[in-house]
Structure 1
Amino acid sequence: MTRPTAVLAAGALAGALALTGCSGSGSDSGPDRAELSVSSPYMPKPVSADMAAGFLTITNEGGAGDELTSVSSDVAGEVTMHSTQGGAMAEKSSFAVPAHGRLVFESGGNHLMFEKLRRAPKQGQTVTVKLTFARSGHLTVEMPVESATYHPSTGH
């Protein structure tokens, strides 16, 4: 092969490899995967010695849904997930995280309950929370402890 032909062949090969890398097949992202992130996590300072609530938003930028199947924390003996609809609270074993959507845990709605507290989290501290998903595995979140009357929309 002559030098100009070799350069053209190498360039064509490099271009083909670059296009293959963008195809999404065999990569960690793409239309068939969830791409999860967490925002606005917080725990209001507990008002009881054995129980606390937790709130956060899970965003899925991916093309596939996932499912939050469990939550744990070293601060609590157990963490349960609850939905609230029409004033009625119900414990749930999982929550769907839709593709290109969000799962919101907020005061008055879906929420986390930290039960059998091993220690009382104090305002200004953080609590480590492990979220487990059916397809995406684990995600660890640092949840700040805010005042008992904290409201995320005002930051107070």
Structure 2
Amino acid sequence: MSFTFRTLAATAAIAFALPAFAADIEIADPYARSASPTSKTGAAFMQILNHGEADRLVGVASPAADLVQLHTHIEGEGGVMKMVHVEDGFDLPAESALSLERGGKHVMFMGLTAPLAQGDTVPITLTFEKAGDMTVDVPVDLERQPGAEMDMDMDHDMDHDKAHEDDMGDSE
């Protein structure tokens, strides 16, 4: 067997082993945070852009916490919002975006293995039904203000020098 044939065979095997739809999923503006340096919980937020066919975000994992889940908020009795684990994940329609943001859908870290410190990164593996696994290094941004998520239709600067408000407990 020639070197060229082995090289081509190995390249083809690797290409076919990769998720077919991974190139169609793009992660934009990810960040993670916790309420304080001593918090045992935290969350990650991002925009998931689907440039291809419909898919579904079905799972999440990270070495940053003992338990990592997909969460959302629902209205409970008396209009009180409560956070719940979404076992079935989130739909990601074709040619659309899924916003993981404060007060809505997000990645929840429970039992942080280390404090989330400003400027650190947290590896998160997102699992899609069709696209498979995608690992993202998510920067920790403890200074991000609520509502400062990137507008995917507009190009603007983010003001990271604003005074930090600790709203983690109220907004997750």
TM over 0.5: yes
Map of 2:51 onto structure 1: 61
Q: Which of the numbers 26, 42, 46 marks the counterpart of 2:31?
A: 42
Gaps of 5+ in 2: 1-19, 76-80, 151-157, 161-172
Identity %, equivalent residues: 32
Q: 1:85: how far off?
A: 3.9
Higher share of residues assigned strand: 1
User: Does 1:145 find its partner at 2:140?
Assistant: yes
CA deviation profile, 1:42-78 (whole Å, cap 9, x unmatched):
012442431101101111011x211111111111112
Residue identity matched to 2:131: S
Distance 1:37 1:69 in 2: 16
Map of 2:72 onto structure 1: 83
**Alpha carbon RMSD of aligned pairs, Å?**
2.1
Residue identity matched to 2:60: V
Map of 1:14 onto structure 2: none
Query: What SS does the corresponding residue of 2:140 show, helix, strand or coil?
Result: strand
CA deviation profile, 1:6-58 (whole Å, cap 9, x unmatched):
xxxxxxxxxxxxxxxxxxxxxx57xxx98111001001244243110110111
Gaps of 5+ in 1: 1-27
TM-score for the superposition, normalised by structure 2: 0.65
Q: How does 1:24-35 map to 2 (within 5 A)?
A: 28=20, 35=24
Q: How does 1:1-156 map to 2 (within 5 A)?
A: 28=20, 35-47=24-36, 48-62=38-52, 64-86=53-75, 87-93=81-87, 94-150=89-145, 151-153=148-150, 154-156=158-160
Q: 1:152: how far off?
A: 3.2
Q: 1:148: how far off?
A: 4.8
Query: What SS does the corresponding residue of 1:146 show, helix, strand or coil?
Result: coil
Larger radius of gyration between Structure 1 and Structure 2:
1
Distance 1:137 1:92 in 2: 18
Change (3 A) 1:84 1:34: farther
TM-score for the superposition, normalised by structure 1: 0.72
